[in-house]
C-alpha cells in the first residue's frame, strides 16, 4: 500500500438531508486523525466552489473539535450544495477540457491529493469523472464518493446515509397525524404525500407506525402502477371499517400508462394569472375522493420538512453517517480510489452494520427500487418483511442542543 501525503478537499452536492453534515463531520474527523492529510479544505457549493476558488480551511475551523458535534446535528449542506454536473469526457462537450484544467489547477495549487464528495446519484457521476480525468492525466489523487440521499435509491449499499432520519421523521409524524385524525367521529379521509419520484422507500416508512399500534390504511408506492378505480374501492372499504382513513402516497405514483397521478387533475385548471394549476399528487387524490366518494377529505404534503428535520434524527443514521465519512478517509489513505462508500448490513436482529465500498462505475445512474417482497399483493401496503428491513434504520433519537428554545446549528459560510 502506497502512502500518499497531501491536502484534502471535501464538497457536498445534491438535495439536503438531516445527516449530510454528520458525514462531513466524519470526513473531517478522519482527516484530522490521518497522518497522510495535512489540511482539509471545504469547497463551497461542491464543484462550483472548486471551480470558483471559494473554499474554507476546515482544519483551522475545527481545531476546537466540540464544533463537530454541533455540525453533526445541523441539517442541510453546511458547505452549501450544487446541482452542477461536470462535462462529459468523451469529446462531445467542447468546454470539457477547460473545465477540468481549471479544476485540476485548483487541486495543484492547494496540493489536493484527496477528494471527498458527499452526495447522491449525480454526485457519484462527478466522482467517476474526476477519478477518470486524474487517471488519464497522471495526477495522483484519491477520489471517494460518500453517499447521502433521503431517497435510499442508490444500488450496492444496504441503505443510504440520510434515509434513516427522514424515515424516522416521516414515521413519527405519521404516528402523530394518525392520532390527530382519530379524534372526530365524522367520516374523513386524509391523504399524506411523501417524497419519492421513482422509489417508494420514504413512503414505505410510513408503515413503521405498525410498531406503535396505529398505521395508515393504505400505502401506494411508485413501484406499482396506480389504478384510480381500485383506489376508490380501497378507500371505500377502509371507510367501512372505521371513520378516519389515512392514506400515504409517494409523489411519484403513476398509472399503468405512465401518467403521473398529479397530471390527472392538473390538466384543465388555470389560475387568475392564466397559469396551469399544478397540483401535487396528494391534492389530486383529495379532489378525486371529494368527487367520487364525497366525504370530508384533505391532503397533507410533508414537503421539505422531511429532508431537513434535524430536530429528530435517527441516532443509527447519524452514527453511521459519521462512520462512513471517517471510513472514506481511511479507505483513501489505504490506497483506494474511484469508489463509493457503502453500508453493509451484517445482521438485522440484533442490528449490526459496517462501512464498505464499491467501484463507482457500478453505481452511477441506477435506481434501487423497493423490492416486491416488501409490498403486499394488493399493492396498497407494506409487508412485515419491509417493516423489518426499515425498523433498525430509525432506531435511537438524535437531538440537537437547544438555546433560547431553538436548536443550535453551525454555520460554515
Angle 111-361-48 (CA atoms, 0-180°, nearest 5)? 45
- Give min distance, CB of 67 to a copy of itself, in A: 15
The neighbour count for residue 336, using CB atoms within 10 Å, is: 17
Measure CA of the first residue to CA of the last residue in the chain; give whole Å. Answer: 37
Q: Which stretch binds a copy of itself (CB under 8 A): 31-39, 81-89, 138-146, 249-257?
A: 81-89
Q: Is 177 in the site for a copy of itself (CB under 8 A)?
A: yes
Residue numbers 100-129 binding a copy of itself by CB under 8 A: none
Shortest Å, Cβ 413 to a copy of itself: 8
Q: Which of 307, 326, 339, 368 binds a copy of itself (CB under 8 A)?
A: 307
Answer yes or no whether residue 314 interacts with a copy of itself by CB under 8 A: yes
User: By CB under 8 A, is residue 378 in contact with a copy of itself?
Assistant: no
Beta-bridge partners for 342:
356
x-marked contacts with a copy of itself along 36-75 as a string, rule CB under 8 A: ---------x--x-------------------------xx
Point out the residues that are catalytic.
151
In this structure, what C-alpha cell is assigned to residue 192? 399524506
Distance CA 334, CA 324 (A): 15
Query: In this chain, which stretch among 90-98, 154-162, 374-382, 393-401 interacts with a copy of itself, using CB under 8 A?
Result: 393-401
Cβ proximity of 115 and 9 under 8 Å: yes
Residue 233 contacts a copy of itself per CB under 8 A: no
Helix (H, G, I), strand (E, B) or coil at 298: strand
Q: Could you tell me which of 214, 159, 228, 181 has the C-alpha nearest to residue 374? A: 159
3-state helix, strand, coil in the chain (%, to 5): 40, 20, 40
Which part of the chain contacts a copy of itself (CB under 8 A), choosing from 35-43, 126-134, 340-348, 400-408?
400-408
* Nearest-angstrom CA–CA distance, 125 and 383: 34
351 lies in the site for a copy of itself, by CB under 8 A: no
Minimum CB distance to a copy of itself smaller for 199 or for 302 = 302
Task: Tell whether residue 269 is a contact of a copy of itself (CB under 8 A).
Answer: yes
Q: Binding segment for a copy of itself among 25-33, 219-227, 262-270, 375-383 (CB under 8 A)? A: 262-270
Closest CA to 327 of 302, 300, 292, 353: 353
Q: Does 396 contact a copy of itself by CB under 8 A?
A: yes
Q: How many residues in the shown chain lie near a copy of itself by CB under 8 A? A: 81
Q: Does 395 bind a copy of itself (CB under 8 A)?
A: yes
264 binds a copy of itself (CB under 8 A): yes
Shortest Cβ 342–a copy of itself spacing (Å) = 22
Interface region with a copy of itself, contact rule CB under 8 A, candidates 26-34, 58-66, 139-147, 183-191: 183-191
Cell numbers describing residue 385: 418483511
Residue 188 exposure: Cα atoms within 13 Å on the Cβ side: 14
Q: Which of 303, 396, 353, 325 is nearest to 78 (CA)?
A: 325
CA dihedral 404, 406, 408, 409 (to 10 degrees): -140
Rule CB under 8 A: is residue 411 a binding residue for a copy of itself?
A: yes
Per CB under 8 A, the list member of 108, 212, 334, 371 interacting with a copy of itself is 212
Amino acid at each position: 500500500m502506497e502512502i500518499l501525503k497531501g491536502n484534502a478537499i471535501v464538497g457536498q452536492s445534491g438535495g439536503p438531508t438531516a445527516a449530510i453534515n454528520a458525514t462531513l463531520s466524519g470526513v473531517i474527523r478522519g482527516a484530522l486523525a490521518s497522518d497522510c492529510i495535512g489540511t482539509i479544505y471545504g469547497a463551497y457549493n461542491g464543484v462550483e466552489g472548486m471551480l470558483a476558488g471559494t473554499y474554507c480551511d476546515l482544519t483551522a475551523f475545527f481545531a476546537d473539535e466540540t464544533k463537530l458535534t454541533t455540525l453533526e446535528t445541523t441539517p442541510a449542506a453546511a458547505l452549501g450544495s450544487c446541482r452542477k454536473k461536470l462535462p462529459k469526457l468523451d469529446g462531445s462537450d467542447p468546454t470539457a477540457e477547460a473545465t477540468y484544467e481549471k479544476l485540476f489547477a485548483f487541486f495543484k495549487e492547494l496540493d489536493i491529493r484527496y477528494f471527498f464528495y458527499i452526495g447522491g446519484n449525480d454526485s457519484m457521476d462527478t466522482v467517476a469523472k474526476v477519478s477518470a480525468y486524474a487517471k488519464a492525466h497522471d495526477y495522483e489523487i484519491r477520489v471517494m464518493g460518500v453517499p447521502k440521499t433521503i431517497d435510499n435509491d442508490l444500488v450496492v449499499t444496504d441503505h443510504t446515509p440520510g434515509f434513516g432520519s427522514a424515515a424516522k421523521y416521516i414515521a413519527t409524524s405519521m404516528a402523530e397525524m394518525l392520532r390527530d385524525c382519530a379524534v372526530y367521529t365524522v367520516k374523513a379521509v386524509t391523504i399524506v404525500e411523501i417524497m419519492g419520484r421513482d422509489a417508494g422507500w420514504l413512503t414505505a416508512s410510513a408503515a413503521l407506525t405498525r410498531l406503535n399500534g396505529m398505521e395508515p390504511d393504505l400505502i401506494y408506492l411508485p413501484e406499482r402502477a396506480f389504478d384510480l378505480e381500485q383506489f376508490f374501492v380501497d378507500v371505500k372499504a377502509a371507510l367501512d371499517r372505521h371513520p378516519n382513513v389515512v392514506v400515504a402516497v409517494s409523489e411519484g405514483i403513476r398509472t399503468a400508462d405512465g401518467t403521473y397521478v398529479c397530471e390527472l387533475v392538473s390538466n384543465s385548471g388555470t389560475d387568475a394569472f392564466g397559469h396551469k394549476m399544478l397540483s401535487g399528487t396528494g391534492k389530486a387524490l383529495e379532489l378525486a375522493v371529494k368527487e367520487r366518494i364525497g366525504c370530508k377529505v384533505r391532503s397533507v404534503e410533508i414537503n421539505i420538512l422531511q429532508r431537513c428535520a434535524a430536530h429528530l434524527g435517527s441516532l443509527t443514521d447519524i452514527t453511521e453517517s459519521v462512520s462512513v465519512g471517517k471510513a472514506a478517509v481511511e479507505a483513501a489513505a489505504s490506497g483506494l480510489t474511484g469508489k463509493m462508500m457503502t453500508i453493509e448490513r451484517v445482521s438485522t436482529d440484533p442490528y449490526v452494520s459496517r462501512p464498505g465500498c464499491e467501484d463507482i462505475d457500478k453505481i452511477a445512474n441506477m435506481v434501487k427500487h423497493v423490492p416486491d417482497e416488501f409490498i403486499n399483493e394488493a399493492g396498497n401496503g407494506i409487508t412485515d418483511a419491509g417493516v423489518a428491513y426499515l425498523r433498525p434504520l430509525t432506531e435511537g433519537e438524535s437531538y440537537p442542543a437547544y438555546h433560547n428554545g431553538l436548536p443550535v446549528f453551525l454555520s460554515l459560510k
